Amino acid sequence: MTLSCSLCNQSSICTKMNIFLKEHLTIMEDPFFIAFLEDAEHLDLFCTAICYPSDAHALALDDAFRTYYANKQFLNYLSTTLYWKSVHYDQQRRKQHARFPPFSNEEALHLKASGSTENKALENLFPLLEDKISYPSLKQAYKQLTFRQKTVLHYIYGEGLLFYETAEILGITQQGVSSIHKQAIQKLRGLWKE
């Protein structure tokens, strides 16, 4: 990059600038400083500070460079942050996609069909618990429970599982199992007393 001092009205480098550049050879090899001088305002501040040295000119150049440097650092920080955030987001999406791949229409129909047979298979388990009930009025009350209530009672009393084990099997919380169990027992009590 060749510097021409517009302040000295010379087409080539003025003598003060020439002396400065000979004393500070490495400054013109710094790509960051060269990029700073590509702005016309910064170049004027630099020429003013070299050709007309004063504390005010040096301070103005220093402030301009600090602002330029801070902006470049901030832009670098933002671009780095955005890059790594996008990489992390992409990794998360791939992991999510690998865990839960999207269904095709054929797979969805197959799952729908197999889900209905699983429900029928579970319903076939309930007669076992129903057969264990010896009181006819209690058996009649048991038949009036919802599918979910029968499922919870089957696992707790028919299989002898604990609430948290039943919750894991059904994919709900332990509190949910407790609530369903409580409602089922209350319903059985109410229907049995009638």
Instruction: Break the chain into its structural domains and give their ranges.
Output: 15-88, 121-193
Contact 57, 17 (CB under 8 A): no
Contact 73, 44 (CB under 8 A): no
Neighbours of 192 (CB within 10 A): 14
Using one digit for the tens of pLDDT, what is the confidence trace for 21-47?
888 888 888 888 889 989 989 989 998
Fold of 121-193: Arc Repressor Mutant, subunit A (1.10.10)
DSSP 8-state assignment for residue 103: P
What pLDDT, on the 0 to 100 scale, is given for residue 6? 60
Contact 80, 88 (CB under 8 A): no
Contact 12, 54 (CB under 8 A): no
Contact 37, 82 (CB under 8 A): no
DSSP 8-state assignment for residue 10: -
Is 80 exceeded by the pLDDT of residue 116? Answer: no
What pLDDT, on the 0 to 100 scale, is given for residue 12? 53
Neighbours of 35 (CB within 10 A): 13
Q: How far is CA 119 from CA 16, 82, 116, 126, 175, in A?
A: 92, 48, 5, 11, 23
Dig out the tokens for 183 from the structure.
């409602």
Is 80 exceeded by the pLDDT of residue 14? Answer: no
Question: What is the sign of the dihedral through the CA atoms of 180, 186, 187 and 189?
Answer: positive
